[in-house]
Amino acid sequence: MKAVVYRGARNLGVEEREPAAPGRGEVRIAVAYTGICGTDLHIYHGDMDSRVGAAAIIGHEMSGRIAALGEDVTGWSVGQPVTVLPTRWCGRCAACQRGNSHICHAMNFLGIDSPGAMQSSWNVPAELVLPLPEELPLDQGALVEPVAVAVHDVRRGKVASGEHVVVVGGGPIGVLIGTVAQGRGARVLLVEPDATRRAVAGEIGIEAVDPTAIDVAALVDDRTDGAGADVAFEVSGSAAGVGTAVEVLTARGRLVMVAIHPRPREVDLHRFFWRELELLGARLYQRDDMAEAIRLVASGAIPAGQLISRVEPPESATAAFTALEGGGVMKVLLDWQEGDQ
């Protein structure tokens, strides 16, 4: 089998390894595609070395087919298309005990805390596997996990039909949040400086504007008769994005913090006080978010195929990471199907 191995900041290698047989309660998946996400970029930059060990196999957005069943595994068939819920929780901590196992205090996130999906053969606990429809192309199936992020974020923001929603940041997650929110009947405005990403958003029916060319807050005020947006999603990870997300909100508006901000940001807390705003964190999805994501992708409600910009072999992993890092692309996938499964 092949694996992309993280060896340190900006250092990826491809290794040949012997595939292990699945253990008790596990399935072995022949991985078809692995997506590269913002968290993977943080790892690539060396920002998560405290969690990611040496010679780690990263990645958690994926699709594939079951290749073998471990002992005591039932209900699955070899060849069945699947994806993986990449979170294992302890069941004992305060978060788990309160029904919030998706933000477990001792979370084992596959692809960060343990081996992930950037390998052609991946053993995972059977309880984390979800079936994909046979008719769903596997490249689109690899987008189920980021769609689940968007589903969770929109649910966290309690987006309702007719509400004005501003999404700050038009990368893959931002565009997916806009698509899910629009599917709920919201009126969505996407804020993104990158022309390619704005064009992709426009092609799938999401209005996108350049914050360097217009006054976003003034535009939102004009669209809402001076009221402001009901919900804003901060997905850019930038200080300017935080400022925009706060500025556009109506009285008692909701700000959903989606992006990972590696350092503290200055926030206009007086505006939070004055308008009685709410700040909501949105970290990880739950199993029902994944199930809804599968439904949305399989039904075509999420135009997954249009969001895939590049597909590269594992040997071009560094080029794939560099392309995503540089902007101008949406989803970048690694294709494992040419390798040994």
Which residues have a catalytic role annotated? 39, 42
Rounded CA separation 130/137 (Å): 15
CA-nearest of 145, 169, 158 to 259 is 169
CA-nearest of 51, 47, 57 to 16 is 57
Rounded CA separation 59/221 (Å): 40
